[in-house]
Structure 1
Amino acid sequence: MAEVESFTLDHTAVKAPYIRLIGVEQGPRGDEISNFDVRFVQPNEGEIPTAALHTIEHTLASLLRDRVEGVIDISPFGCRTGFHLITWGRPEVPALVEAVTDSLRFIAEEAEWSDVPGVSAIECGNYRDHSLHGAREWSARILEQGISRDAFTRILA
């Protein structure tokens, strides 16, 4: 079986919340795709409830595309402690920290239900499993801690 980088990460050594570059893949034409670990919750110490995580995912999918050039996807980890952020090129971690922080601030302080995209039965495969209230609470909790630019040492802004 192929080795998966995130399964080789010592999850007991990281200090969430943080953003970490997992790796950069190069396509046959030289295009680069970067994969980032956007970790919001300390692994094995908690997890974001599914409905809140789902609403954060949908909202970040739109907000980050407005703030970061080349976003391909942002998808939650199965463990519910954060997200994979996939981009074209090599955005810098500090710029991503700023964009994610700004997006979470919007969710925590300003977002209304009408700001959450893709929440109807036509647009979402599990449209009943959303919680703006939970997304706001978790976004505020993450913001209180601050998002580090390093996974192993707390380096804020």
Structure 2
Amino acid sequence: MRRWSKEEIEVLRKVYPDAGAKKVAELIGRSVDSVVAKAKELGIRRKRKVVWTDEMVGFLVSNYNVMTMDEIAEYLGVDSVDVLNKARQLGLKKNHHGRVTVVVDDEYVTLEPDDIIMLYENGYFDNLELRRLCRFKFFRDYINSKIGGVLERH
């Protein structure tokens, strides 16, 4: 493990409180985990606390299984660590076994592929929303086989 230089620690002290671990890691060429560990060791904390709105929580829950942490963080304008912490607080778990959590009539619902097909056929999702839900190949292939290729790329 490489020792931290005085310059790296200076960047950590100046940048981490406002911009977070990902930005520091990019600037000094270290892993995010390494930056977080060093910040904790030195007692450096983030200045801002994310205030999660209902819309942000809804987006997180709806997209947790179909987007990466970085994609969600970028969309919401927060750090990926904030996304991970909120997901843990909400009890969300990554699920790559054919189920997706979505918002239906203002409720968080975990759906099987057949449920998604039924909701699509009843107008709850348009083609764009269906594509977003079906980012995983096995999920997309299954739904295509049931709906007749609606998700085929042209």
**TM-score, length basis structure 1:** 0.24
Larger radius of gyration: 2
**Structure ranking higher on relative contact order (CA contacts 8 Å, 6+ apart):** 1
The structure that is strand-richer by fraction is 1
The structure that is helix-richer by fraction is 2
**TM-score, length basis structure 2:** 0.24
